[in-house]
Structure 1
Amino acid sequence: MFSGNVFRQRQFCLVVGLVVFAIALSNRHVSIAWSQETIVNPNIVLINADDLGWMDLKCQGSKYYQTPNVDRLASEGMRFTNAYASASNCAPSRACMMTGQYGPRHGVFTVQNSDRGPAKARKLIPVRNKTSISEDHFTIADLLNSVGYQTISIGKWHIGKDPLLNGFDQNVAGEHIGHPGAKQGGYHSPFSYVNCVSESKGEYLTDRLTDEAIKFVNDNQSKPFFLYLPFYAVHTPLQPRADKKKRWKSIEAQPGQSNASYAAMVESMDENVGRLLESLDKLGLSERTIVIFTSDNGGHWAISRQAPLRAGKGSYFEGGIRVPMIVRWPGRIKPGTTCDEPVINVDFMPTFAEISGAKIPAKQTIDGVSLLPVLMDSKAGLKERSLFWHFPVYLQSVSRASGEFETHDSRFRTRPGSAIRSGKWKLHEYFEDGRLELYDLESDIGETENVASVRPEIANRLHAELEKWRDDAGAPVPTDLNPKYSPAK
């Protein structure tokens, strides 16, 4: 028998223990709720449009494009207003997304060579660029394969010879090409892509890729799957379906958005998103399938303006890196919600890891964070952090027209530099002259007023953080002068 004092002491210890346990549970409320409510290994569908700008959807504010199916996805899920690609053009953005790593860790900074643009206008010798991620890199496909997912890539790969070499079980139409070129046949059949051949006329590539996606879903409905659907659309060449282009010629244009061919391609992409969603509904898979819709970089400025954002694809102003992003998961994500938290596509890897229970190898540094807290509650917020971009190379303009891309000169969409976003502030650093540009995105989303000289304390703080990040990430900075440089020219 216990004495009265001993009994009371043990009672007190028990109460204290229960209180401590309750506090621990409350601090882990997201994870506990998640473990109780989730379906084990939910299906994951990642739709990655190509060159679709932040303002190229009706749900994003466009008064020209018609996108009822993507709009439906937004009404049934969560739309992110401050979502970013990790780079402003195709290959580096996809490399970052697939590995969960910023560019300095895999070395893919641009498409093709790093010295693009007129030689006499390049003050620095750019760093060497890689065009592929290594086969040793752990990818999202490797991650999900490790816990029993069936994985497939259908569409544009562009960061290696074959997605099968980077963890995927199946590949349809993915190779080391950046757009539907003449060699493959473009958007209209007859065309010949890897495991995607059509010898007759009348088949449209975006339709065919969706047919392949629906077939994969049907074949794998009884097991967890990861469907990566990187449409080639809406990348150039502008080759819409003839029936859709004809209809768009009669639709009233809007300032900066008036290209009927491009609008018809956006419509085809949207229509096929709807076809895929419908197939998930018919198979009863919607409630155990997470659907993510996004784009690999900003829109093509010369084809579709992204106002109020500045510039477009290839630039590190907002128009080149801010992208649409929508996530739907019926029963888990509250429908019709928006989230203003700044997020970036390196966040997908850790998010999928937490959702699936898969483990990321300790040897692979991950730069993103799990978005699960904000997916469960759009107001929950994430741990305070900054977002980074690094571009130690040159990317030429596609036109000599002065100011066509709302950038600094007509020769380049961007020159070598880095950028950081921290809260409402965004800092650009340019390596040729050390120039700093600071913008308050809360009051100046168009990055029209450089306030670095009037807010030097913020500019200096962000610059120091940016320099530290470059050191930590091993980011190469070009310093050697180009002997061919001729400023007079």
Structure 2
Amino acid sequence: MKTMFSATGIWSVLSLTLLFSCNAQPSPEAKKPNVILINADDLGWADLGCMGSGYYETPNIDRLGREGMLFTQAYASAANCAPSRAHMITGLWGPRHGIYTVGSSERGNTKTRRLIPTPNAQSIPDSLYTLGEMFHDNGYRTASIGKWHISESPLTEGFDVNIAGSHRGGPGHRGYFSPYNAEHLEAGPQGEYLTDRLTSEAISFINGNKEKPFFLYLPFYAVHKPLMAKEEVEAIYRAKKGAEGQSDATYAAMIHTMDENVGRLLTTLKNLGIEENTIVIFTSDNGGIRDVSHQDPLRAGKGSYYEGGIRVPLIVKWPGHVKNGTVTEQPVIQRDLYPTLQSMIGAEKKAKHLDGTDISPLLKGEPMPERDFFWHFPVYLQAYNPLEDQARDLLFRTRPGSVIRSGPWKLHEYFEDGGLELYNLGDDPGERHNVAGEHPEKVRELRDRLEAWRTLTGAPVPTEKNPGFDKMFEIKKQQQARTGS
């Protein structure tokens, strides 16, 4: 049967064709959100304006918090640099990657260590599927710009670009000003500041990849020691009245400059027209150093498994997906970031196993069930400042042990002497009052959960006595630390 087309019919078909062509859906790759993960170094939970500081000025990070979700009970997965980063980049508990501390597990004087600690791994195993590899395998251009610290190079862990990343854990002597100490970073103009330079490199990466999905991991070296700041910024804080425990002008200036650079990044996203399609996350790798900045009301600081050592700032912004100005008190942990980002980008290629929880429902405003949180530290970490650290004893920030948080309850277990400390964080966020003797059933319940978790993960518990331990020497050292002699 012959079909006849009129001129009107032909134009109708052409019009429909053009209409559907103009409204064609973009490719799946074009819809993928960009991701920027900013990880400050040693920035404490209370070291931002939006977290209550009246001395440190952080208007750009505060604005980021107002434009996204601010977490008041976010945790690092470990209390110091390398293990925290290993948890976040692998999405796995410590026993699965073996990094528990920085360098040797035999920290402090051997005569004051009662046990032989578990050996510490220096690098994440090559067999683990990292966050960088997940993004790379899902079509993302990936960059690590700044402190890496968990292997020789991020280039073997799924990152296309590495700037300033190696096993190095800090900027080194005079390292905040060019010429730098960091590997894989060319010297800039004399006096150039490291935080400024890393941000400029990050902006260059964004500009070069604005047409494709990118994952930018930006682990600043700031505000890790040595404390070094730009003179003109430090002068602002020398002229400003501090608060008790937060009054170091150099440290404040380092935070100030980092905040300015977060502002530069946010402005870049807006100017390029990609702000709406970019997830921005800001956090810190562990708690702040207490003799530099107090985290009151939280106890202790970096290296401790009291709240001041593991509770950290966390902000997540994604326009149109995370409601502006949301503040949540629901506990989360940085290990959650891997499964959450995997979900948020709609990853087709995924890690086979992750120990974190996908918190994307929480980011959407949906309730999530309570869960237990675990920390394991089978090694030693010596004191920074015995009279300031607020540790269990004056010689170590942490001795070997495990910790569980379940609801408001938090139990510390110590392997040397079997010590147990129980705190109700709802009533006592500063962990000042050990109520283990008042709640023996809760102690048994939480200790059983800790033991079950250690069995599940194969967590090593040191039991071998240290033949070099000297009780009288330990007592003498405790007395000297107490008197500052």
With the length of structure 1 as denominator, give the TM-score of the two structures.
0.89
Equivalence for 1:108:
99
Equivalence for 1:85:
76
Equivalence for 1:33:
none
Give the distance between the partners of 2:190 and 2:280, measured in 1 at CA.
32
Equivalence for 2:156:
165
After superposition, the C-alpha distances for 1:305-351 in whole angstroms (9 at most, x for unaligned) are 00000000000000000000001111111111111111001101101
Q: Is the 8 A contact 1:104 1:475 kept in 2?
A: yes
Equivalence for 2:132:
141
- Aligned positions, number: 446
Equivalence for 2:361:
373
Amino acid paired to 2:226: P
After superposition, the C-alpha distances for 1:144-202 in whole angstroms (9 at most, x for unaligned) are 111100000000000000000111111010010110013xx500012253342125312
Question: Equivalent residues in 2 for 1:385-400 (5 A)?
Answer: 385-399=371-385
- The match for 1:344 among 320, 328, 333 is 333
Residue 381 of structure 1 deviates from its aligned partner by: 2.6
Q: Percent identity?
A: 56
Tell whether 2:252 aligns with 1:263: yes
After superposition, the C-alpha distances for 1:78-109 in whole angstroms (9 at most, x for unaligned) are 00011000000000000000000011110000
SS of aligned partner of 1:324:
strand
Tell whether 2:459 aligns with 1:475: yes
Give the distance between the partners of 2:146 and 2:341, measured in 1 at CA.
21
Equivalence for 1:382:
368
Tell whether 2:277 aligns with 1:277: no
Give the distance between the partners of 2:310 and 2:349, measured in 1 at CA.
26
Residue 131 of structure 1 deviates from its aligned partner by: 1.3
After superposition, the C-alpha distances for 1:213-232 in whole angstroms (9 at most, x for unaligned) are 11111100010000000000
Give the distance between the partners of 2:172 and 2:181, measured in 1 at CA.
10
Q: Is the 8 A contact 2:145 2:165 kept in 1?
A: yes
Equivalence for 1:243:
232
- The match for 1:198 among 187, 194, 200 is 187
Give the distance between the partners of 2:367 and 2:77, measured in 1 at CA.
20
- The match for 1:125 among 104, 116, 119 is 116
Q: Is the 8 A contact 1:96 1:346 kept in 2?
A: yes
Q: Is the 8 A contact 1:404 1:410 kept in 2?
A: no
Give the distance between the partners of 2:315 and 2:420, measured in 1 at CA.
33
Amino acid paired to 2:374: F
Q: Is the 8 A contact 1:95 1:159 kept in 2?
A: yes
Give the distance between the partners of 1:60 and 1:398, measured in 2 at CA.
25
After superposition, the C-alpha distances for 1:103-156 in whole angstroms (9 at most, x for unaligned) are 111000000000100111101000000011022211111111111000000000
Give the distance between the partners of 1:239 and 1:229, measured in 2 at CA.
20
Tell whether 2:294 aligns with 1:308: no
Tell whether 2:54 aligns with 1:63: yes
Equivalence for 1:330:
319
SS of aligned partner of 1:292:
strand
Give the distance between the partners of 1:365 and 1:345, measured in 2 at CA.
16
After superposition, the C-alpha distances for 1:50-79 in whole angstroms (9 at most, x for unaligned) are 000000001000111000000000011100
Amino acid paired to 1:47: I
Q: Is the 8 A contact 1:100 1:350 kept in 2?
A: yes
Give the distance between the partners of 1:331 and 1:355, measured in 2 at CA.
13
Tell whether 2:382 aligns with 1:418: no
With the length of structure 2 as denominator, give the TM-score of the two structures.
0.90
Give the distance between the partners of 1:412 and 1:322, measured in 2 at CA.
19
- Any gaps of 5 or more consecutive residues in structure 2? 1-28, 474-485
Residue 382 of structure 1 deviates from its aligned partner by: 2.1
- Any gaps of 5 or more consecutive residues in structure 1? 1-37
Residue 359 of structure 1 deviates from its aligned partner by: 4.8
